A and B are shown apart, each in its own frame.
Chain A
Amino acid sequence: MTLDAKIPSGPIEKKWEKHRFDMKLVNPSNKRKYKVIVVGTGLAGGAAAASLGQLGYEVEAFCYQDSARRAHSIAAQGGINAAKNYQNDGDSIFRLFYDTVKGGDFRSREANVYRLAEVSNAIIDQCVALGVPFAREYSGYLANRSFGGAQVSRTFYARGQTGQQLLLGAYAALSREVALGSVKMYPRHEMLELVVIDGHAKGIVVRDMVTGKVSSHAADTVLLATGGYGNVFYLSTNAKGCNTTAIWRAHRKGAFFANPCYTQIHPTCIPVAGEHQSKLTLMSESLRNDGRVWVPKKAGDHRKPWEIPEDDRDYYLERKYPSYGNLAPRDISSRAAKQVCDEGRGVGPGGRGVYLDFTDSISRLGKGVIEARYGNLFEMYERITGEDPWKWPMRIYPAMHYTMGGLWVDYNLMSNLPGLHVLGEANFSDHGANRLGASALMQGLADGYFVIPYTIADYLAKVKPGTRAGVDHPAFKEAEAEVAGRMKKLLSIGGTKTVDEFHKELGQVMWEFVGMGRNEAGLKTALQKIPQIRERFWKEVLVPGSGADFNQELEKAGRVADFLEMGELLAYDALMRDESCGAHFREEHQTPDGEAMRDDEKYAYVAAWEFKGEGKAPELHKEALEFENVHLAQRSYK
């Protein structure tokens, strides 16, 4: 089949405007006749549910957390990009578009990225209107800061808690709609199956995580805004509950999974402390604005950092990338850290760490300024490591952070499975092979506030109101039976190993062979090992308790079972993509100085995988990427 991205014709700066006019509208009095299901209440899902409720649709929103306010968007620290050019430093919609396409190493869809840059300004307006307390200058005007991968200051922020404040803004808007009855909220409900009727997504099956009750919900369209799959690596900066189940279930029902191998390792995280480690904590990338990254020049130099004189230090990012320096993009910074640690120059226990040193900034700007900018991050660091970063430079190391891949969507954010829309990190669309800092919040809110409210109508206008199947339709009964059968199976294995043990085992394989550096032999090893772990999981896992009550181990078991399938597809995609691009680094393809080498002749496409059945090879569908506005070039941040 050919994948039609439905990119509007015309010059790039006119596409979205033209498309908004060309799309069908739903008559205001008909809107209430359509039911929309939104799964996930982070920035994308929360903003979408609130906005669609305002428009008059009947919305049902679901999240696995005990409150919509706790979705993991809340943990984003650094900021949100917009092309406001409030700093008068040469920013523009086109520059934000250009930086994002380049940052994504030319593996994203131009039209989508341009639209993202175009609506970025409205997002800031909307967030301020909702009461998001962005940082201000003394004049009362909004403040900005710079961020990795850009040479202009376009990032808006609320201390180190930007994601929290943006999410609380969307949550407040959502709460108002709940009060008005236009959105019905289902917290502590996990989506376990997608229901497809006559080839269209028409509902979901969920489990009430308190009572264990499995129930069906029918709708005219389903929106998945369930985040990324970074926890396939076990250790990541994601929340413990983040999972791939919703999108994986949809994939199994026919939705194509695009570019699963594009997984971002974030350069500034707190290093692993020991075996007991359950998750990794990110330190905002904004720290790189004022912190200098270095390691000793000589391997095995165990002197205290302040005993190492300037001449014996290697500020390797400044040395290798003089124009971007410590602000080089995430993929590049992460690999550079791995490289110096591989050379034996890493610092801290286990040698897996590099210094992030604020000494120079403190002497230049004073402690007060640094404290005002990053005080909460310094405290967080001390709380976790027990080390005082005012005395001892921070130690950081890359960690799995964000997934650019996700379900394939067209320009309308609709999957190849009609009626299924996918928003935010759960889709694949805007970041290409690498996401720039402060772009995730922008994309989540763009999708939720300013894209789906328009594009959803284009689908719904073709659905006759009142024709929705009820939950007594056989497709729902079948899906419920599948869910119940799966849970019964998990609970009845009665093996000897816990869910966490399998998850860790999978994570180790993913990190070692499908992590920062990938090669053919390693990926083939991973492709051998993952099915073996999966097979043992279904024979040896021990899931205690029953399905009829609050059972966190059962929840985890279902998620890990899906990760064990998803991880294989990720490795498969990484093996197929025989080039390096952005965060996907195939060691076979690098320049003499270790930079990623793309192969545009062969791989300038989106890899969209079709599920062909358990144990069968997935089928590859290609969406060719055309670059009409950005010149394809090797990224250079030197």
Chain B
Amino acid sequence: MKLTLKIWRQESPSAKGRLVAYPMDHVEGDMSFLELLDILNQSLIKKGEAPVAFDHDCREGICGSCGFMISGIAHGPQKLTTTCQLFMRQFKDGDTIVAEPFRSKAFPVIKDLVVDRSALDKIVQAGGFISARTGSGPDANAILIPKEKADKSMDAAACIGCGACIAACPNGSAMLFTSAKISHLGLLPQGQTERHQRALRMVSKMEELGFGACSNHGECEAVCPKGITLEFIARLNRDFLVASVVATKEAVKKV
């Protein structure tokens, strides 16, 4: 099939960006979206033009490197799918597809479709962990975890940190991302000790980094490639509320 790609080109963080149209012939359904960009880039390089910069790595939907807006939807039209796993059979002959970087105050553009998502690491550093020194764990079967709790925890832990939820949110909120980590750890017995501090630290870091507040649009859930649900945001809200009543935020300490 033939289709047109309209891609956001921006040379550097401070440069002005613009959409550039690239007609694409010989597009096959078995190509992934990123493989189509590979083909485009090969031809751009040969023509002496700059190839399109985009983040990607595993190309199997798990590393969370890839992702941009595809015709206005983070990761494109297919549900539960990262950009690298979006295949061209999802489009039809004659389509025009617009590719733009994830837009958020907390995600400055680096180049073309590449954005800086280091703010997500900072949220995790604020408290998205269990402080278990290497070697300190008891026998693994000493901690019994009901299967449904472990499964629910795993549902939340499946987050790949791609940032689509933030790009999709009209407020640029990182609530779905943060709530996934809070829920993953908060559902487990091992995560209880630091549960209050975790909620207080991660939420305050999220606000400090310029992420917006949640106003229950639900766009995040709709685009999440890993099916993280709004239920986890409810868990985060509850944890945060309880923590605000019973504790005050402390800095992460060594011992």
Tell me the A residues contacting B by CB distance below 8 Å: 47, 50-51, 54, 65-70, 72, 74-75, 84, 86, 122, 124-131, 133-142, 158-159, 161, 164-165, 168, 171-173, 175-176, 178-180, 182, 185, 187, 210, 239-241, 273-274, 276-279, 281-282, 379-380, 383-386, 449-450, 453, 496, 498, 500-501, 542, 544-545, 549-550, 552-553
Contact = CB atoms under 8 A, between A and B. Distances in A.
B65 interface: yes
A50 B131 CA distance: 11
Contact of A86 (B35, B46, B141, B153): B141
Per DSSP, chain B at the interface is loop
Given A136-B147, A136-B150, A542-B45, A173 B134 contact: yes
B85 A383 contact: yes
A553 B45 CA distance: 9
Contacts of B130: 129-131, 172
Given A125-B139, A133-B157, A173 B132 contact: yes
B38 A500 contact: yes
Interface in B41-86: 42, 45-46, 48-51, 53, 55-65, 78, 80-81, 85
A165 to B, nearest CB: 6
A51 B81 CA distance: 34
B60 A545 contact: no
Given A179-B125, A498-B45, A544-B51, A69 B134 contact: no
B51 A552 contact: yes
Contact of A279 (B59, B191, B252): B59
21 contacts: A65-B63, A65-B65, A66-B116, A75-B58, A125-B137, A128-B137, A128-B190, A129-B136, A133-B153, A140-B147, A141-B141, A165-B154, A173-B132, A175-B124, A210-B110, A240-B58, A276-B36, A383-B81, A386-B29, A496-B46, A552-B53
Interface in B163-192: 184-185, 188, 190-191
**Interface-centre pick from A86, A176, A380 (highest chain B CB count, 10 A):** A176
A65 B188 CA distance: 29
B199 to A, nearest CB: 15
A456 to B, nearest CB: 13
A50 B230 CA distance: 32
A75 B42 contact: no
Contacts of A129: 130, 132, 136-138, 190
Given A140-B146, A159-B154, A276 B28 contact: yes
B57 A65 contact: yes
B141 A142 contact: yes
A384 B89 CA distance: 10
A75 B252 CA distance: 30
A180 B128 CA distance: 13
B42 A50 contact: no
B38 A67 contact: no
B59 A239 contact: yes
A176 B157 CA distance: 17
A133 B58 contact: no
B31 interface: yes
Interface in B110-142: 110-111, 114, 116-118, 120-121, 124-126, 128-141
Contacts of A384: 85, 87
Contacts of A142: 140-141
A69 B57 CA distance: 12
B190 A131 contact: yes
Given A129-B130, A240-B56, A67 B117 contact: yes
Contact of A175 (B53, B63, B87, B129): B129
Nearest to A385: B30
A277 B35 contact: yes
A195 B34 CA distance: 36
B39 interface: yes
Nearest to A52: B134
B140 A125 contact: yes
B16 interface: no
Contacts of A176: 125, 129, 131, 252
Given A133-B153, A139-B144, A140-B145, 20 more contacts: A67-B64, A67-B117, A69-B161, A72-B63, A74-B58, A126-B137, A127-B140, A133-B154, A136-B151, A165-B154, A171-B124, A180-B252, A182-B254, A187-B121, A276-B31, A276-B36, A276-B38, A380-B85, A386-B89, A500-B42
A278 B145 contact: no
B32 interface: yes
A235 B60 CA distance: 13
Contacts of B87: 383-384, 386
Contact of A239 (B63, B126, B136): B63
Closest 8 CB pairs of A and B: A129-B137, A140-B144, A172-B129, A129-B132, A125-B137, A273-B30, A133-B154, A51-B134
Q: Which of A158, A168, A496 lies at the interface centre, i.e. has the most chain B CB atoms within 10 A of its CB?
A: A168
Contacts of B29: 386
B143 interface: yes
Contacts of A69: 64, 121, 124, 161
Contacts of B116: 66, 210
Given A273-B30, A545-B50, A552-B51, A240 B144 contact: no
A159 B51 CA distance: 38
B244 interface: no
A31 to B, nearest CB: 13
B48 A278 contact: no
Contacts of A139: 144
B243 interface: no
A542 B42 CA distance: 10
Given A158-B154, A210-B110, A274-B28, A544 B145 contact: no
A553 B42 contact: no
B204 interface: no
B214 interface: no
Contact of B63 (A75, A165, A210, A453): A75
Nearest to A501: B42
Contacts of B129: 130-131, 172-173, 175-176
A141 B145 CA distance: 7
